[in-house]
Amino acid sequence: MNPETPLRGEKAIRKKQPSKGWLVVSRFFQKYSYFFAKIGVSLLTLTLTTILLFFLLRLIPGDILEIYALKLQNQQGISYERAYELAKQLLNFDPSENVFLAFFHYVGGLFRGQLGNSYLETNVSANSLIATRLPWTLFVSTVALIISFLLGTTIGCYAAEKRKGFLEKLTSGYVAISGSIPDYLMALLLVIVFAYTLNWFPAQGNYDSFSVEPGFNFPFFGSVIYYSFLPILAYALVQTGTWILQMRGSTIGVLGEDFILAARARGLSDRTIRRKYLRRNALLPLVTMFGVSFGNLFGGATLMESIFNYPGIGLEISSRIVNKDYMVVQGLIFFSAAMVILVNLIVDMIYPLIDPRVRKN
Amino acid sequence: MKEKASKLNLWLKSLSLSLKDFFFRVGVLGKKLFSNYKTILGTSIILLYILVAIFGPLIFPYNQEINMVDKYLMNSWTHPFGTDWLGRDVFRQVIAGAGSVLEIAFFTAAFSVVFGTILGIVAGYLGGWVDKVIMSVANIFLSIPAFPVYLLLAAVIVISSPIQFALVISVFSWAGLCRAIRIQVMSLKERDFLQICLVMRMSKAHIIFKEIMPNVFSYIAINFVTALRNAIMASVGIMLVGLAAYDPTNWGAIINAARTKGLTNVNNIYILLYPLVAIVIFEVATLMVSNGLDETFNPRLKEM
């Protein structure tokens, strides 16, 4: 029998094996299945968010179209019917439409990048507001997040190590107080004390528009920091408490691990253990908290900025809700939700690079 | 006839036994709960608030009459907290507002605990696609910034009663509880006693109500208290923006009114401080109760 000829059935088996190219693709997907799953979940969340916001939009009383149409009629001198049609187009909103058709229009508007036009002011839309206001909110919330993260993790680590002492009592008292004062009441107290009673800091605005010129110069930066000091302080005071609590719990968990005991047995100094073994491992689970914390900051900005009169996205949302400018508001809320989802996705993406154990599960 | 009487007797006996058992259990639970000083202190503060909310308006009725002669009076025996810009007594306003604040908080906590617990147990126990659907819905509510949507809902619905307010807030607050309960139930499912129940083919109702419920009860209690604090935070926040202004004596409404009157006037700051302090004390009390409950039910925390 010729050894070259395949045995019975072997040919069929060979046929079943996928080609090399397909193998590479499937291996690629298997290797990065974690990332693809995360991307899929965030896309799903975004879709569901869109649906939810759409149904919220359907709750809006329909008379805003009539008000807008009357306004257009007066402004442009056209008939009421034409103004009504124009209003429908400009707001991308028609309460008499079929639900499915309206949903397609809504999603189409989002895909075209139209988040919503204001019906109170001409030439103001969610897009233009995001372009002008977002940098301020992002600046304040990221700076506050970084400061509170650094402070909170350092203090939390110490508090976990020295659990019987004055410092521990101080930190747990601080955590209790900062956890029980709502962040906006903290902001209100700060404004009352520092802005209205002592007059140390300004009570509104994001920079001194009279004396400095926006641009790349030091007086402008100084003014921005001076005006954003109180909001950042308020955020940081509240957020630091939660970071301390999280870091303390995480560090206590790591302290019980065997590798710390082994490091102690090898006679490593406390400082080395703390820096190279304890803190790094305790920080790992806190990275996932970053997304949640950012979401809290972004959502809380609505009230905080209206208390500080700090012109960011949050102030726009709260003042425009009161003025019933719903089309812009839903665009801004959609944008903030998308940003929070994106930040969560980025955190999820980075996390397995820091802690490879996650990808295997 | 005789048979019937004996049956009734038996029934009464079993009833009295089960009642005795119930009260014994309540007694044991009470002793266990109130061995922790944080729980005692926190609960007594909350009880004080409830008493003030119920009996306060009867003893110190609030009248809304405008009296411009008495405006911006400082603290005195007749007006312990002074008067506001229209000459109304601030102390009586704060007392009248306690009921409104607590009503919203309790309704919200009840709604969100009921929704969260049911959905959490269903998701954790059934697993599969039910779990996936419930958790993806919960994930949306956890990832959308809640506060702007509260504001939008409050403005669109035009809140005019505490129950509406509670429904608006619990739209978001059930999600976190649902996730916590789900994880708890999933870890319980791996435990031996539940595996045995499954092997013995006990009914789902029995497993859920008799086996799982008592084990997640402590989480539900702690989350009820946490839901109270979150509800107060959210409701006062919504009122601070100026929405849902159906009750002018609600603490959030008082703070907002004083704030919009202008903080450059020191008198407005004094008016605003009393409801603010009242809120902070309530929040501290709820935090103490939830920490105390956590320590009694999860004793691992104490050792560490």
The mean pLDDT value for B3-9 works out to 77
Q: Does the residue A254 lie in any domain?
A: yes
* pLDDT over 80 at B107, yes or no: yes
Q: Given CB atoms, is B183 within the 8 Å cutoff of chain A?
A: no
Out of A275-279, B89-93, B101-105, B260-264, give the one with best mean pLDDT.
B101-105
Angstrom distances, CA of residue B298 to CA of A2, A164, B115, B191, B216: 74, 21, 24, 17, 12
Instruction: Say yes or no: A193 and A99 in one domain.
Output: no
pLDDT of residue B212: 83
Instruction: Say yes or no: A202 and A269 in one domain.
Output: yes
Reported as a pLDDT band with limits 50, 70 and 90, residue A16 is low
Instruction: Say yes or no: A95 and A174 in one domain.
Output: no
* pLDDT over 60 at A6, yes or no: no
Q: Does the structure's ipTM exceed the value 0.95?
A: no
For the stretch A240-267, pLDDT in tens is 888 888 888 888 888 888 888 888 899 8
Q: Tell which of A281, A299, A315 closes a domain.
A: A315
Nearest by CB to residue A336, choosing from B145, B279, B284, is: B145
Q: Does the residue A328 lie in any domain?
A: no
For the stretch B8-33, pLDDT in tens is 888 888 888 888 888 887 887 777 77
Instruction: Say yes or no: A107 and A137 in one domain.
Output: no
pLDDT of residue A147: 92
Nearest by CB to residue B241, choosing from A59, A306, A336, is: A306
Answer positive or negative: Cα dihedral of B182, B187, B192, B193.
Answer: negative
Q: Does the residue A42 lie in any domain?
A: yes
Do A319 and B243 form a contact (C-beta atoms < 8 A)?
Answer: no
Query: What percentage of chain B has pLDDT greater than the value 90?
Result: 1
Q: Given CB atoms, is B283 within the 8 Å cutoff of chain A?
A: yes
Contacts of B280 in chain A (CB under 8 A): 180-181, 185
The Cα B138–Cα B178 span in angstroms is 8
Contact B276/A188, CB-based, under 8 Å?
A: yes
Cβ-Cβ pairs closer than 8 A, A with B, add up to 128
For the stretch B136-162, pLDDT in tens is 888 878 877 888 888 888 888 777 788
Instruction: Say yes or no: A186 and A290 in one domain.
Output: yes
Residue B89 pairs with which residues in a beta bridge?
A: B83
pLDDT of residue B303: 43
Contact A333/B152, CB-based, under 8 Å?
A: yes
List the single best residue of A41, A130, A180 to mutate versus B (max B Cβ within 10 A): A180
Reported as a pLDDT band with limits 50, 70 and 90, residue B68 is low
Reported as a pLDDT band with limits 50, 70 and 90, residue B302 is very low
Q: Token pair 């601080």 is at which residue?
A: A174
Instruction: Say yes or no: A141 and A230 in one domain.
Output: yes
List the single best residue of B136, B141, B143, B235 to mutate versus A (max A Cβ within 10 A): B143
The mean pLDDT value for A329-357 works out to 84
Q: Does the residue A127 lie in any domain?
A: no
Instruction: Say yes or no: A89 and A183 in one domain.
Output: no
* pLDDT over 80 at B2, yes or no: no
Instruction: Say yes or no: A97 and A140 in one domain.
Output: no
Contact A185/B276, CB-based, under 8 Å?
A: yes
Contact B229/A180, CB-based, under 8 Å?
A: yes
Tell me the nearest-neighbour CA distance from A341 into chain B, angstroms: 6
Here the CATH number for the domain that contains residue A246 is 1.10.3720.10
Q: Does the residue A228 lie in any domain?
A: yes
Instruction: Say yes or no: A205 and A145 in one domain.
Output: yes
Instruction: Say yes or no: A233 and A87 in one domain.
Output: no
Q: Does the residue A194 lie in any domain?
A: yes
Instruction: Say yes or no: A249 and A199 in one domain.
Output: yes
For the stretch A96-147, pLDDT in tens is 777 777 788 788 878 887 777 777 776 777 788 888 888 888 888 889 899 9
Nearest by CB to residue B241, choosing from A322, A326, A344, is: A322
Contacts of A289 (CB under 8 A, 6+ apart): A243, A246
Nearest by CB to residue A48, choosing from B136, B272, B286, is: B136
Nearest by CB to residue B149, choosing from A191, A307, A333, is: A333
Q: Given CB atoms, is B299 within the 8 Å cutoff of chain A?
A: no
In chain A, the residue whose alpha carbon lies closest to the alpha carbon of B233 is A182
Q: Does the residue A27 lie in any domain?
A: no
In chain B, the residue whose alpha carbon lies closest to the alpha carbon of A332 is B148
pLDDT of residue A12: 53
Tell me the nearest-neighbour CA distance from B135 into chain A, angstroms: 11
Residue range(s) defining the domain that contains residue A48? 38-111
| Cα three-residue angle B191-B194-B200, rounded to 5 degrees | 140
How many domains is chain A partitioned into structurally?
2
Write down the pTM of the prediction. 0.80
Instruction: Say yes or no: A255 and A192 in one domain.
Output: yes
Burial category of A69 from C-beta neighbours within 10 Å (exposed 0-12, middle 13-18, buried 19 and up) = buried
Q: Does the residue A48 lie in any domain?
A: yes
Question: Domains in chain B, please, with CATH?
Answer: 42-56+86-303 (1.10.3720.10)
